[in-house]
Structure 1
């Protein structure tokens, strides 16, 4: 893992991001002590049509299991805006 001081990292930031995009991890140091680490973000896999449908059905099932709120969305927003305790 490569290590760069803050000033050097600042001056080479675009180059460091290119290296990170290729999978390398970069440590940023301040006065010789690690303070940050640059690493590639894990991109979530796309769901297939079947997986998406199963997710939506599970979401709807959980939504339907919840008890009703007892007020409309407009009433809820109004209560939140006006600072009502409920």
Structure 2
């Protein structure tokens, strides 16, 4: 497992993420003490895009804005 300091991790984050995407784990240290581990995301938790779209459509069905406009909701959020 590769180890990098916090400053180096901040400076080279893009390159570190490329390594992680290839399956590598990277420990980030601060003053020599491990504080975080970058590792690939658990791909088993990812849902197929089609399934996500179907879930969104099911959630949306039967829900209406009852005359509210997007502008009204934006203004309400600003209060």
* Same structural fold, with TM-score higher than 0.5 when normalized by the shorter chain: yes
Name structure 2 gaps, 5 residues minimum.
49-79
CA radius of gyration, larger in: 1
Moved over 6 A (4+): none
RMSD between aligned residues: 1.8
Q: In the TM superposition, what whole-angstrom CA distance separates every residue of 1:14-55 from its partner, at most 9, and x where no partner exists?
A: 0000000000000000000000000001112768xxxxxxxx
Q: 1:81: which partner in 2?
A: none
Name structure 1 gaps, 5 residues minimum.
48-86
Aligned length: 48
TM-score, with length taken from structure 1: 0.51
Q: Considering Cα pairs closer than 8 Å and 6+ residues apart, tell me whether 1 or 2 has the greater RCO.
A: 2
**Match of 1:23, SS?**
coil
